[in-house]
Homo-oligomer: A and B are copies of this chain.
Amino acid sequence: MAPDINALTQGSSLQRDGLNHQAIEDYLKTIYMLEQEESPVSTSRIAAARDVKPGSATSMIQRLDKLNLVNYVKHYGVTLTESGREIALEVIRHHRLVELYLIEALGFSWDEVHEQADLLEHVISEKLEERIAAALNYPEFDPHGDPIPSREGEVSELHTYRLTSVLPGTVVVISRVLDDADSKLLRYLGTLGLVPGVSLKVIDIAPFDGPITIELDKETLIVGHKVADSVLIMPVDETEGTLAP
């Protein structure tokens, strides 16, 4: 399905030529993530996400556009092209496989794998990717509950909601924890037992970004709005698909 085999994306492998693709891959990944929320993506959102100045983002986007990795309309926004999306998904696949591997095979903890995976994701060959996936028995979800894109670029999407957005009384299962949260927050969630796969009941949600009261394992727990906001859930009645581990 590779549409435009140019010098850059040939063979869908990224580090064949001498170029340093790290920055390109990071931008494409960022744009992919932001497009999930809202598309097209403005340059300022990209700049904020990548923590660079708006002008820097603009010039990088112009380069990506020339490389046919994004479609860019001035003053309007950015969307990924098919080849851009392919690269983004490959990097995300690397990232999530590596995160899981660090935990399963090398004893890392849940909250400390993100940074290391951000480095490794750019230097994983096709072969290593395959071996890691095989060692993990071709998993569908990473430790944060994020879906791992298939090699063909398919992503099992669960329709999830934020824990802060359900009605009191609902019983839910945690499907994902946003892994862009900082690792202290993740560790805190771990100690509370708020990890993917766990089910809980929402008792109360206080207004004005107030605390959320939940029942978990017969215990009542009260967590802040910010904490609850990085927890994604599925209502327990419409549980049908595969669930994260």
Residue numbers in B under 8 Å from A119 (CB-CB): 15, 123, 125
**Chain copies in the assembled complex:** 2
The reply to whether the CB of A167 lies closer than 8 angstroms to some CB of chain B is: no
In the complex, residue of chain B having the shortest beta-carbon distance to the beta carbon of A102: B128
Determine if A127 and B105 form an interchain contact, defined as CB atoms under 8 angstroms apart: no
The reply to whether the CB of A120 lies closer than 8 angstroms to some CB of chain B is: yes
Of the residues B108, B120, B131, contact of A106 by C-beta under 8 Å = B131
Residue numbers in B under 8 Å from A131 (CB-CB): 106-108
Given the complex of chains A and B, what is the CA–CA distance between A115 and B128 in angstroms?
11
Residue numbers in B under 8 Å from A15 (CB-CB): 119
- The secondary structure that dominates the A interface is helix
Residue numbers in B under 8 Å from A220 (CB-CB): none
Near B by CB (< 8 A), chain A positions 93-142 give 102, 105-108, 112, 115-116, 119-120, 122-123, 125, 127-128, 131-132, 135
CB distance from A189 to the nearest CB of B (A): 21
Residue numbers in B under 8 Å from A128 (CB-CB): 102, 106, 116
Given the complex of chains A and B, what is the CA–CA distance between A129 and B104 in angstroms?
16
CB distance from A207 to the nearest CB of B (A): 41
Given contacts A108-B131, A116-B125, A116-B127, 6 further A-B contacts (CB under 8 A): A102-B128, A105-B135, A106-B131, A112-B127, A120-B120, A123-B123
16 A-B residue pairs with Cβ-Cβ distance under 8 Å, sorted by A, are: A15-B119, A20-B20, A102-B128, A105-B105, A106-B128, A106-B131, A106-B132, A107-B131, A108-B131, A112-B127, A115-B125, A116-B127, A116-B128, A119-B123, A122-B123, A123-B123
The 7 closest A-B pairs by CB, nearest first: A119-B123, A106-B131, A116-B125, A120-B123, A116-B128, A123-B123, A107-B131
